Amino acid sequence: MDKDKIKKILERYPFVERENLIPILQDIQYEYGYLTEEAIKEVGNYLKLPSSKIYSVATFYSKFRFRPKGRFHIRLCRGTSCQIKGAANLEKKVYKLLNIENGETTGEGMFSLELVACMGACGLGPVMAVNEEYYTEITEDRLEEIVKGYKEIEDYI
Amino acid sequence: MATLKEDTNKDMLIQALLEGEIGELDHKDRETLARIKCDKITRPLIALSYNTASIIAGADKTYNAIRNYLEERDIDAFLKTIGSLGLTTIEPLMDVQLPGKARVTFSRVYPERVSDILDAVFNNFISEEYVLGQHPNDLHEPWESIPRIDELSFFQSQQRYILKNCGRIAPESIDEYIAHGGYRSFLMSIRNHTPEELCDLVEESRLRGRGGEGYPTGKKWKNTLNAPADKRFLICNAGESDPGAFMERMIMESDPHSLVESLGIASYAIGAQKAYIYLESEYEMASRRLQKAIDQARHYGLLGHDIFSSGFNLNIQLHQGAGAYVCGEETALIASLEGKRGMPRPKPPYPSHKGLHNNPTVVNNMETLLNVPVIVRHGPAWYKQTGTVKSSGTKVFSLSGKIERSGLVEVPMGTSLREVVYKIGGGLPDNKELKGLLIGGPAGGALTYENLDTPIDYEELKDKGCTLGSGAVVVMDEEGCILDTVKYYMHLLKKESCGKCIPCREGTRRMYEILENITQRPQEENGTFTLQRFKGVINLEKLAYVVRDTSLCGLGQRAANPILSTISAFREEYEEHIFERRCRAGVCQELSTFYIDVDKCTGCTICAQKCPTGAIVGSTKKPHFIVQERCIGCGICYESCKFGAIVRK
């Protein structure tokens, strides 16, 4: 992790105000995919806040990650509409196939799973996305197919 | 994406705005205005609906297909992107308008259908297979035998004040918004009204907060305006946080300028010079379009310093949330904006006296604010004509779940939910029967089929144990299990409880445990376990009341709502789960019993090997049996059987 990049992010916020904490953390996460220990310390130095305070804020919000994303980041919609259409079983299926839960990454760094509150396509549920590719009206079988497809890509590389 | 060239029409549009009436413009300007509004076009116009829902449905590919089609055939047409018309199930939608002809909307425009549809349209023929309807008006010649879009049952009962521009104009063009009458209310407000007058106007209109309890907006504004301070703030809560509500995201993606205008009026009315829009971090497209709208408005002099020489200054800042359901509560939202953990604090003092950085602050729901330009434009007397006596205006819903047409719906207050579900939503697919309606998200409530005639109104819904809440209406059919849904909500609330006050932190956890016990088969049949289970069942309702009455903020106070509103209405189902250990919908898998169909079983022994408790017995190549006493209902055998020999009941 290079410090210059973090510095550049911090320069976007010229005022040392606590108000900027969450936006700064979001920018860092956008850049790196997750929050590293060093990044939290750097932000602390800049905003003159103890790292523990920053960590307490970052852990409160569900969007911050502390582990890197996998090569294929799976986002699964867990909105009410998708729940009624059977998304709970899909979550179990992902666990069965990849042995990961929300926020986790597989050992070799291939897949990671994120449960999303609502993806905004309730009419087409259950919805899931792998990186930027969207899949609608997913069933357990289709989920298995999709995951298999990505596994093959990975093997090929 | 292609949008209109900016700046070229800036001066003319600003003049049109200031003049107030378009009639004062000269012929050339009027022509330009008609061109921007797409009333008069010289070349064919193709408008693709481009928003989160349509992208998920594949709008990106459709866009490329249209562009390739036009390039290949060398057709000079104008291709632009618009917001969502509100019909999310049949996206991607595409509008085509030929010069002099009415605009036609096509549904489910997948890439492979593009050439068929466009070939036909350019030959003056419309294939009925893909068409949704036409938008007729006096200026254009209508198509024959194509249904009018406003006569479709989805649109017929709707009254669209807030959604009027959605899916009609290009969200990334301020020119189009102004040409369609936008920013006129804002200019009227800052030039002709004092802040006090505006507060009076809104109070007179009886506009109530759309977020939950329905507090009168005018009163809230007045409290803030009258609080002594040098600085005041306006915060617009545009983060739905409720999984299942998508209307705010859709509106921001489809008509971001209307929100900017609303914030302008509200900020002026409460004397705020800075306004914040709080939205979810997943709303990438919404925040991009909003930021663009804010930049455009600033460029046109509608935001910034001394707006149109009125002496009023305003800056709008976007703030992306980081995922916390509790931030829907106003004091938690303020804490989050200050860069702290989003935890609520006791009230009073109310935010209207001590809010953001200890200054008077108004926190309004986004839909509430969107009503304000309508009120300013048409006056409170006109506004009050819509809706009921106590709840005026319209309400926007996001309709989803097991329903034929899900999407954005705006109906006058007082409309019955039956009309929303059956007329607008087109009923349930495959003629299934409706079991319940989940209204207002996790902290909302549930309505039964018998209560479907309840009019949409704050008080009427409260009587039934529901709140309007987020405005999400999720339809459930017989295949859904009420307990499973309540458990799902409780899981969410348990996870999202901030942990500050004990009733909510512990109460949601205990309620979840009790529900889990009900929906699971007992692990062991000894006395203590059964006793614990029954103790939980007996205390569930009592616990729910305690959590409701003693929690600090709205999240805790309403956390028991899903239980309280379903425990009476769906008592039978609760009892079935508790006493008979049966889930009639078959959703609670742990409760179902498994049998082996002797005729189908080949004796491959896979299920016996996989069974974690060794409940399946039998010898190779002979039918197996399940020992019910040992079965824990995990369903592994059901999934592993290749011959479909395991039956679930």
Q: What is the DSSP string of B429-456?
A: GGGPPEEEEEESGGGSEEEEGGGGG-BS
* pTM score, whole prediction: 0.90
Query: Which of A 36-55 lie inside 8 A of B, CB atoms?
Result: none
Block residue for tokens 């205990």 = B510
Chain B hits for A48, Cβ within 8 Å = none
Which tens digits make up the pLDDT trace of B208-224? 998 777 899 999 999 99
The per-residue pLDDT for B213 is: 76
Neighbours of B417 (CB within 10 A): 23
Query: Does any CB of chain A come closer than 8 Å to the CB of residue B434?
Result: no
Q: Which helix (H) or strand (E) holds A111?
A: strand A111-116
Q: Which helix (H) or strand (E) holds A129?
A: strand A128-130
Rg (CA), chain B: 28
Residue of B nearest to A22 (CA): B339
Percentage of residues in chain B having pLDDT higher than 70: 97
Query: Which of B 72-131 lie inside 8 A of A, CB atoms?
Result: 88-89, 91
Comparing C-alpha atoms, which of B290, B294, B283 is closest to residue B245? B283
Amino acid in the structure at residue B336: S
Chain B hits for A12, Cβ within 8 Å = none
pLDDT band at B521 (very low <50, low <70, confident <90, very high): confident
- The DSSP 8-state label assigned to residue B101 in this structure reads B
Residue B72 structure tokens = 């290949």
Task: Give the CA-trace dihedral at B148, B154, B157, B159, to 10 degrees.
Answer: -80
- Label residues B297-331 b or e (16+ Cβ within 10 Å = b): bbebebbeeebbeeebebebebbbbbbbbbbbbbb
Chain A hits for B249, Cβ within 8 Å = 120
Nearest CB to B339; choose among A21, A127, A129 = A21
Residues forming beta bridges with residue B392, ordered by sequence position: B387
Query: Does any CB of chain A come closer than 8 Å to the CB of residue B487?
Result: no
- The DSSP 8-state label assigned to residue B613 in this structure reads T
Query: Does any CB of chain A come closer than 8 Å to the CB of residue B441?
Result: yes
The per-residue pLDDT for B81 is: 94
Cross-chain Cβ contact A62/B441 below 8 Å: no
Residue B262 structure tokens = 């609303």
**Helix (H) and strand (E) counts in chain B:** 26, 18
Nearest CB to A81; choose among B244, B282, B484 = B244
Cross-chain Cβ contact B241/A117 below 8 Å: yes
pLDDT band at B523 (very low <50, low <70, confident <90, very high): low
Query: Does any CB of chain B come closer than 8 Å to the CB of residue A16?
Result: no
Rg (CA), chain A: 18
DSSP 3-state of B625: strand
Residues near B564 by Cβ (< 8 Å), separated by ≥ 6? B445, B465, B541, B544, B545, B548
CA–CA dist B470, B240 (Å, integer): 7
Task: Calculate the alpha carbon distances from B641 to A92, A127, B77, B638, B648 in Å.
Answer: 18, 27, 57, 6, 12
CA–CA dist B243, B168 (Å, integer): 27
Which tens digits make up the pLDDT trace of B96-148? 999 989 999 999 999 999 999 999 999 998 888 899 999 988 889 999 889 99
Query: Does any CB of chain A come closer than 8 Å to the CB of residue B337?
Result: yes
Out of A129-143, B229-243, B453-467, B513-527, pick the least confident: B513-527
B553 touches B331 (CB < 8 A): yes
Rounded to a whole number of angstroms, the distance between the first and last alpha carbons of chain B is 53
Query: How big is the A-B interface in CB pairs under 8 Å?
Result: 136
Chain A hits for B406, Cβ within 8 Å = 81, 122-123
Which tens digits make up the pLDDT trace of B309-320? 889 999 999 999
Mean pLDDT, chain B, whole residue set:
89
Cross-chain Cβ contact B339/A56 below 8 Å: no
- The DSSP 8-state label assigned to residue A123 in this structure reads G
Mutating which of B340, B361, B430, B519 best tests the A interface, going by the most A Cβ atoms within 10 A?
B340
Out of B277-281, B500-504, B582-586, pick the least confident: B582-586
Nearest CB to A79; choose among B91, B243, B341 = B243
Nearest CB to B340; choose among A17, A57, A129 = A57
Percentage of residues in chain A having pLDDT higher than 70: 99
pLDDT at B291 over 60: yes
Backbone angles phi, psi at B213, to 5 degrees: -75, -20
Cross-chain Cβ contact A84/B52 below 8 Å: no
Residues forming beta bridges with residue B617, ordered by sequence position: B625
Out of B45-59, B295-309, B435-449, pick the least confident: B435-449
Residue of B nearest to A137 (CA): B57
Nearest CB to B476; choose among A84, A88, A123 = A84
pLDDT at B4 over 50: no
CA–CA dist A27, A34 (Å, integer): 10
